[in-house]
Amino acid sequence: MSSSTENFIQGEVKERIDRWIAEYPEDQRQSACMPALRIVQECHDGYLTTDLMDQVAEYLGMAPIAVYEVATFYGNYNHQPVGKYQINWCNSISCYLRGGEELREKLEEKLGVKTGEVSADGKFSIKKVECLGACGGAPICKIGKDYHENLTEESLFKLLDELE
């Protein structure tokens, strides 16, 4: 993937952002800041840069600082490179009660990475997140846009082995 982010908001990225802008009143382009950051992040290997945030600011007519505020306030935006598969690991009470923490340790061991790191081959990274709102299926994790529930060591490892 190219690391150049010159004119990032064009083509499909621009079309996707424009569809979100249309969901808000005409004089409220700033409302599309969160979806714009998400889309840009998705199309930039899963993380944001200052340059990308500046481009979002310019496109939406916002002050850059206002975009930085949003991008650093919400937990789902990344500011460092992440793995091709970012494993969002739920850290909250129901997952904890059902062995989520022990399972995360086994996950770290299997992938050879600590939480917050990217594996050497760039394939996986683990991110500890707070309650994902699916506590009935604890322990759970989210990879990409998908939830994986009722995880056991066996089901988790099988899932990871199947990811290309």
Query: x/- site string to another protein, residues 7 to 46, per CB under 8 A?
Result: ----------------xxx--x-xxxxxx-xx--------
Q: Say how many residues touch another protein, by CB under 8 A.
A: 44
What's phi and psi for 100, nearest 5 deg? -60, -35
129 interacts with another protein by CB under 8 A: yes
> Which H or E element spans position 126?
strand 124-129
Q: State which of positions 68-127 bind another protein (CB under 8 A).
A: 69-70, 73-77, 88, 91-94, 96-98
Q: Which two tokens stand for residue 41?
A: 């992040």
- Per the listing, tokens 């975009």 go with 67
Nearest approach, Cβ of residue 157 and another protein (Å): 23
Q: Give the residue, chosen from 137, 148, 159, 160, that forms a contact with another protein under the rule CB under 8 A.
A: 137
DSSP label at 47?
-
Question: Can residue 61 be called a binding residue for another protein (CB under 8 A)?
Answer: no
Contacts of 45 (CB under 8 A, 6+ apart): 1, 81, 82, 84
With CB under 8 A as the contact rule, which of the stretches 5-13, 102-110, 118-126, 132-140 interacts with another protein? 132-140
CA nearest neighbour of 64 among 84, 48, 80, 76: 48
In a 3-state reduction of DSSP, which class is residue 63?
A: coil
Indicate which single residue of 52, 132, 151, 156 sits in contact with another protein (rule: CB under 8 A): 132
The CB-of-61 to another protein minimum distance in angstroms stands at: 11
What one-letter code names the amino acid at 114?
Answer: K
| CB contact at 8 A, 59 and 47 | no
Residues making contact with another protein (CB under 8 A): 23-25, 28, 30-35, 37-38, 60, 62, 66, 69-70, 73-77, 88, 91-94, 96-98, 129-138, 142, 145-147
